[in-house]
Structure 1
Amino acid sequence: MIRKCKEHGYFRGESCPDCGDEGRYVLDDDREERLGRFISGALRHFPEDVGIEMDPQGWVELNQLCDVMKKRYKWGTMERLISLVESDRKGRYEIDDDFIRARYGHSVEVDLISEYPENDLSYLYYGVSQEEADMLLDNGIYPIRQCYVHLSTSFDKAKEAASVHTDNPVILEVDAETAQQDGVDIVTVNDDIVLARGIPPEYISVVEESGE
């Protein structure tokens, strides 16, 4: 559920995490999920299919997206769209003046490397299944269904992400500092996610436990 605190803005849950106020109702769980799926599809996977125009960096006009959304969901409003973005703990989307885009997760071709700051962490992490590990160590990490490889900024975040797909993930460590010195572009999207077009195998090793 999304609600709005007068002092701290939109939040998800029963009460404002900053002050405990219950806030004003904006969106229930079912509509939040439905609207979230639509926005994800429109901004990451099939903008043309829903009738919106996307620029090379993934930006679309906020009003255009809202108009398309209202045709599908009569209850869709600009406030509910903005509340979905501003309350998202994972920082999936961003709004800049009259434009909106997904920060990551695109299957349509977009140029994000030039849009975000260069990664400043020496090491990054990537969780995979036991079956995938040897193949990636030999061949490198490259996107399959998305435009970019999504690396994690910590061992724990990589394990959390990989655990959605496999019960016993292998965590790979990427020597990002050396890779970037050698010309591999790696950019920071948010506190948890870093993007690259691909990571060659010479920069990858296996991490057995957190902190090694």
Structure 2
Amino acid sequence: MLSPKQEEGLSKFMSKILRHTPEQFGVKLDHEGYCDVQDLVEAIKSENRWSNIREEDINQVVTNCAKKRYETVNGYIRANYGHSAGRLDYKEFHPPIVLYHGTNTRVIEKILTEGIKPMGREYVHLSETLEFATLAGSRRGELAILEVNTTSALANNVKFYYANNEVWLSDFVPPQFLKKL
């Protein structure tokens, strides 16, 4: 069983492989970003630090990851919310009346002027709860939370997609639908 510190380190390494550089580790992702769990285990083992890693350790990370970054299905694993396989096609859904976006106070005024953009990602990430938005935004420095009025946004043709685990995606959220909390 991994310690919390080891679990966090392994999660970051898994993210590097599954989201950013699968080819560097000989991992092939399918069109939806999945690879065989055993292929991931072997790729991770190629690093001395992780030479004793087992599938059970990967499963521990998947189960315990607060942000639910990974998904496993029938012996395959992928990183949720974007990866090297390109843009995943999520189905459009009607979100809750309000969603939240955690960000940094340094960029809050720009976002309130220009809207929430995906930046280097494929989609804008939004959360159903303040807790999840806080978790997502707190790693960026001093936390700022935005509330998204999805009812008005939907009425103005903004599209929302349900990713999973309280995470919603959008292509762009214009500033008129945002309020700083």
CA distance in 2: counterparts of 1:128 and 1:35, whole angstroms: 25
Q: How many residues align?
A: 179
Matched residue, 2:177: 203
Matched residue, 2:75: 98
- The structure showing larger relative contact order (alpha-carbon pairs under 8 Å, at least 6 residues apart) is 2
Pairs within 5 Å for 1:113-152: 113-114=89-90, 118-152=93-127
Task: Give the TM-score normalised by structure 1.
Answer: 0.71
1:43 equivalent in alignment to 2:18: yes
Pairs within 5 Å for 1:23-172: 26-72=1-47, 73-104=50-81, 106=82, 108=84, 110-114=86-90, 118-167=93-142, 169-172=143-146
Give per-residue Cα distances to partners, 1:48-76, cap 9 Å, x unaligned.
22211112322122222122122323201
Residue 41 of structure 1 deviates from its aligned partner by 0.6
DSSP 3-state at the match of 2:164: coil
CA distance in 2: counterparts of 1:143 and 1:69, whole angstroms: 29
Percent sequence identity over aligned pairs: 29
Residue 96 of structure 1 deviates from its aligned partner by 0.7
CA RMSD between the two structures: 2.5
Residue 141 of structure 1 deviates from its aligned partner by 0.6
DSSP 3-state at the match of 2:31: coil
- Unaligned stretches of 5+ residues in structure 2: none
- Unaligned stretches of 5+ residues in structure 1: 1-25, 208-212
CA distance in 2: counterparts of 1:165 and 1:38, whole angstroms: 19
Give per-residue Cα distances to partners, 1:93-152, cap 9 Å, x unaligned.
110112111112x363633342x6725311111233344222112211112232222112
Task: Letter of the 1:84 partner, please give it.
Answer: V
DSSP 3-state at the match of 1:164: helix
Task: Letter of the 1:179 partner, please give it.
Answer: A
CA distance in 2: counterparts of 1:70 and 1:131, whole angstroms: 39
Classify 1:53/1:122 alpha carbon distance in 2 versus 1 (closer, same or farther; 3 Å). Answer: same
Please tell me whether Structure 1 or Structure 2 has the larger radius of gyration of its CA atoms: 1
The answer to whether the 8 A contact 2:161-2:169 is kept is yes
Structure 1 segments of 4 or more deviating over 6 A? Answer: none
CA distance in 2: counterparts of 1:148 and 1:204, whole angstroms: 17
The answer to whether the 8 A contact 2:160-2:169 is kept is yes
